A and B are shown apart, each in its own frame.
Chain A
Amino acid sequence: SAVISQKPSRDICQRGTSLTIQCQVDSQVTMMFWYRQQPGQSLTLIATANQGSEATYESGFVIDKFPISRPNLTFSTLTVSNMSPEDSSIYLCSVEGGLAGYEQYFGPGTRLTVT
C-alpha cells in the first residue's frame, strides 16, 4: 500500500483565515481524494483530484470554499478558505491502489480547530 503523509498534522486557526493542507504520496497515483471527518459523523468525500484536470466536488462542497491543487502524480493540496468554527474537523487525503485496484488508503489526517 502507498505511504501517505499530510502537513500540518494539526492546527488552530482564527475564523476568517485560510489553511492549506498538503498531501504527499510515496508513489505515483492517478486519483487522490479529500475527505472530512467531523465528530460523530461519517467520513464524507469532499472532492476527487486528478492530475492535470479540475477537481470534482461532491454535493455540498464548492471550489471557492475548498480549492484543490494537483500539480503532479504524488502531491495535492486542499485549502479551507474563510474558515468558521463549523469547519473544525479532521481532513484526510486518500489514494486508490493495492492488488485488487479498488482499495483506498488514507493519510494520517489534519486536525483543524477554528476559533
Chain B
Amino acid sequence: QKEVEQDPGPLSVPEGAIVSLNCTYSNSAFQYFMWYRQYSRKGPELLMYTYSSGNKEDGRFTAQVDKSSKYISLFIRDSQPSDSATYLCAMRGGGSNYKLTFGKGTLLTVNP
C-alpha cells in the first residue's frame, strides 16, 4: 500500500461547480498536510496547509483533515477556468522530519 493515495482523475467540471479533491494515507505519523496547485510546465504552488485534524478556509478553498480516518480533502467553491491545474496533496511528520510525501496529483479541468 502506498503511503499516500490520490485519484489521478482527470476530473472535468462546469464553471461554478463545487470541486472535491481527496487523498488517503496510511502513515499515522503524518501531522502536517498541504495542498499544492501545479499549472502545466510550472512548479507546485502552495495553496493550503493545515496542522493535525480540522478545517481551514481561505476564500473559495477549504481544506479538511480527518486524522482518525487518515483522509484529507480540498474543496473548491464556485470553480473557475483558472482553477484548471493539477492538485497535489502532500504531508509530513512532526519535529525534524522535513520530508514531504506527495500524492500523484489530480488533474482538474473547469469548463467555461
Interface on A for B, CB 8 Å cutoff?
A: 1, 4, 31, 33, 40-45, 48, 58, 92, 96, 98, 100, 102-109, 111
In which size bucket is the chain B interface?
A: 20 to 34
Per-residue contact bits, chain B 42-57, to A (CB 8 Å; 1 contact, 0 not): 1111100101000000
What CA separation (Å) do A45 and B101 show in the bound complex? 8
Q: Which residues of A contact B99 (CB under 8 A)?
A: 45, 48, 58
Q: Which residues from 7 to 57 on chain B have a C-beta closer than 8 Å to any C-beta of chain A?
A: 8, 32, 34, 36, 41-46, 49, 51
A94 to chain B, nearest CB (A): 8
Known: A41-B104, A42-B4, A43-B102. A102 touches B43 (CB 8 A): no
Q: Which residues from 64 to 112 on chain B have a C-beta closer than 8 Å to any C-beta of chain A?
A: 88, 90, 92, 98-105
Contact between B49 and A100 (Cβ–Cβ < 8 Å)? yes
What CA separation (Å) do A44 and B43 show in the bound complex? 14
Known: A92-B43, A103-B34, A111-B41. A42 touches B49 (CB 8 A): no
Known: A42-B103, A45-B100, A111-B41. A100 touches B51 (CB 8 A): yes
A86 to chain B, nearest CB (A): 19
Contact between A105 and B46 (Cβ–Cβ < 8 Å)? yes
A12 to chain B, nearest CB (A): 15
Contact between B49 and A43 (Cβ–Cβ < 8 Å)? no
Could you pull out 5 A-B pairs where Cβ atoms are within 8 angstroms?
A40-B104, A41-B104, A43-B102, A98-B49, A108-B43
A67 to chain B, nearest CB (A): 20
Contact between B44 and A43 (Cβ–Cβ < 8 Å)? yes
